[in-house]
Amino acid sequence: MIYLDNGATTFPKPECVYEAVDRFGRTQAVNAGRGAYKAARDASVMIQDVKKRLLSLCDAREQAEVVLTPSVTIALNQIINGVNWREGDGAYVSPYEHNAVLRPLHRLCCTRGIQLIELPLAADLSIDMTATAALFARKPPVLVSMSAVSNVTGYILPTAPIFRMAKKYGAFTLLDAAQAMGLLKIRFAETGADAIAFAGHKTLYAPFGIAGFFIRNGVDLDPFIAGGNGIHSLCLDMPSYMPQKMECASMDTVAIAGLQAALQWLPAVRPREVEAAPGCSICCHG
């Protein structure tokens, strides 16, 4: 079979990923953070190593925390629903967004009365920057969510300059890097994003079951999902600090082990440094 559906998921994975998943599943697949025995401690150490590798991948050490989730759809739901919305607030999206962004926002339109607004396009189907600036001036954004790259056209969206515009109004900026993380070189400080969501099973070459998001230090979100995480179990409130306040339920340590192997392998192919048209890159380092 010649497989070309990498926008949906990369396949096959590197052999080291399969080996790590099999080995960890057979020998160490315990519940991290739920016990003091060695295997549980080792699983927790592995998770922290994965987070450090993700932060290094995006040059985000000392700038952000990593929250791990079972899928990027869950990550996006946690971010979008974690914003402190008020009726009439404006949420801006590009015309290239995935339903993992659009459906949670549509639900908030129906339940919280927010307004979902699409960024305008120029004749060549790129984002019209001048019209966008005028639109922000008329209706200041509370959230701007954009894909790093379209999985349909390959268009690298001008996220950084639009996020800079949005920040003039105090907006929360969300970068959906599900299609880009591991493929394009993303430098956290240069994106202008408050949160960057990623999928493990796409261009990070990990298995299904592991994803997450980066959240800028000092940026807060309300918990959207509550449950156990092995911390202060006698207290019914979720922890008040990142990333623990956003991480609940048992971690899929087998999938995380696969992500660890993929991150160790990834430098062999190196995320691409792209030379983009002016204003149209998330990385700008050709």
User: Is there a contact between 147 and 265 (Cβ–Cβ < 8 Å)?
Assistant: no
b/e 199-218 (16+ beta carbons within 10 angstroms → b): bbbbbbbbbebbbbbbbbee
Beta strand 211-216 with 195-199 is antiparallel
In angstroms, the CA 29 to CA 41 distance is 12
All structural domains of the chain, each given as residue ranges with its CATH number in brackets, are 15-29+39-268 (3.40.640.10)
Backbone angles phi, psi at 19, to 5 degrees: -65, -40
Predicted TM-score (pTM) of the model is 0.92
User: Helices 38-57 and 253-265, interaxial angle, to 10°?
Assistant: 40
Per-residue pLDDT of the chain (286 residues; tens, 9 = 90+): 999 999 899 999 999 999 999 999 999 999 998 888 999 999 999 999 999 999 999 999 999 999 999 999 999 999 999 999 999 999 999 999 999 999 999 999 999 999 999 999 999 999 999 999 999 999 999 999 999 999 888 899 999 999 999 999 999 999 999 999 999 999 999 999 999 999 999 999 999 999 999 999 999 999 998 887 766 777 788 888 788 888 888 899 999 999 999 999 999 887 777 644 444 444 333 2
**Structure-token match 């950084």, residue found:** 160
- Express each pLDDT in 32-52 by its tens digit: 988 889 999 999 999 999 999
> For 95-137, what is each residue's pLDDT tens digit?
999 999 999 999 999 999 999 999 999 999 999 999 999 999 9
State how far the Cα of 221 lies from the Cα of 241, in Å rounded to an integer: 10
| 152 neighbors 96 (Cβ within 8 angstroms) | yes
C-alpha–C-alpha distance, residues 178 and 131, integer Å? 27
Question: In the chain, where do the E strands start and end?
Answer: 64-69, 90-93, 115-118, 141-147, 172-176, 195-199, 211-216
CB 108 within 8 A of CB 143: no
CA pair distance 148, 191, nearest whole angstrom? 10
